[in-house]
């Protein structure tokens, strides 16, 4: 199944390279396979099949990691060092 077929069937439009979030994990759309979108999650080298209805588009490639790092930094700064 192609990206067009998935868009027609599920009403969800994705293309290779889109940044997405699925079940709290960030990743990049790698391909379409059967009725799934294959996503390469950050830190992984192999893509995994995801249901198109579980995916949400996120901002550009530079915005997702920086916002994650901002959240991580604020947590780190609030913990006192011993």
- DSSP 8-state symbol, 46: S
Region 14-28: mean pLDDT is: 95
Could you tell me how far CA 16 lies from the centroid of its own chain?
11
Domains and CATH numbers, the chain: 3-78 (2.30.30.30)
Q: Are 45 and 19 in contact (CB under 8 A)?
A: no
Region 7-32: mean pLDDT is: 92
Q: In this predicted model, what pLDDT tens digit does every residue of 27-79 receive, in sequence order? A: 999 999 888 999 999 999 999 999 999 999 997 544 434 344 444 444 444 44
The radius of gyration of the chain from alpha carbons, rounded to an integer in Å, stands at: 15
**pLDDT on residue 82:** 54
């Amino acid at each position: 199944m192609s990206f067009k077929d998935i868009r027609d069937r599920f009403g969800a439009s994705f293309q290779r390279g889109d940044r997405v979030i699925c079940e709290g994990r960030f990743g990049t759309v790698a391909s379409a396979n059967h009725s799934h979108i294959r996503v390469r999650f950050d830190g992984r080298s192999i893509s995994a099949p995801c249901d198109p209805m579980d995916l949400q588009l996120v901002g550009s490639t530079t915005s997702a990691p920086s916002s994650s790092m901002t959240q991580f930094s604020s947590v780190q700064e609030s913990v006192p060092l011993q």
